[in-house]
Structure 1
Amino acid sequence: MVLLKVSSMKGVIRFGKIGKLALRYIRSYEVLQRVRNASSKLALPPEMERIHPVFHVPMLQKFVSNPNMVTSEPDMEILEDLSYVEQPIRIVDIQVRKLRNKEIPMVKVLWNHHNMEECMWETCDSMIQ
């Protein structure tokens, strides 16, 4: 059993600008077979049938079962390029960062599928778009 790594895409993608948050490992999948030295074929569920089932080893992490630790199943929809869309939930804090000649207003944003420790500072202009 291994965990599969997916990347997030912040907000709505506009004008070709893509923002990234931390990568995360989701769900455990069974390894069906090793493909050469650096790849593995996984048993994917039917809702992920359009995704190619062979993954490179850096995208996988060994899954060690711990019965004391129960985690909830992530309720995110994974896209074909192994990414998922992040939407802002709320603004946690507001701050103005001062440079020599200008001031940049910043907001600390809580994104869905992330907890309070993973809040990110964003510029106000990027949040308005």
Structure 2
Amino acid sequence: MKTAQSHQKSYANKRRRELDFAVGDHVFVKIAPMNDVTRFGKKCKLSLRFIGPFEVLERIGTLAYRVVLPPILAGVHNVFYIAMLRKWMSDPSRVLNYEPLQLTPNTSHKERPMQILDRQERRL
């Protein structure tokens, strides 16, 4: 029994990430999207796995952190277990600019290309 426990412990320790956040750090919060269920304003199986970044407000105990959530997530408890957080590193190449959709009264929108990247003429 001791040998099995030792084996499992060494296996777990190799894959463990040492996480530690300071007050003021920014983190992503892991969400668990499910079909036909809206959580954190996200719905569907292929939606994002992490949302954020959010600022760490305080450390609660050794394994939990309180984060500052925006007003649209007011119904979500703002204390998260350390395994649900991922460190945010500012990388300008990963920042996505987005514009809100302009919906018509019948709740549809028309997509327009921003720029044409390539043009070809083909002869059959």
Judging by fraction of residues, say which structure has more strand: 1
> TM-score range with shorter-chain normalisation?
0.3 to 0.5
Give 1 or 2: higher helix fraction. 2
Using the size of structure 2 for normalisation, the TM-score is 0.47
Report which of the two structures shows the higher radius of gyration computed on alpha carbons.
Answer: 2
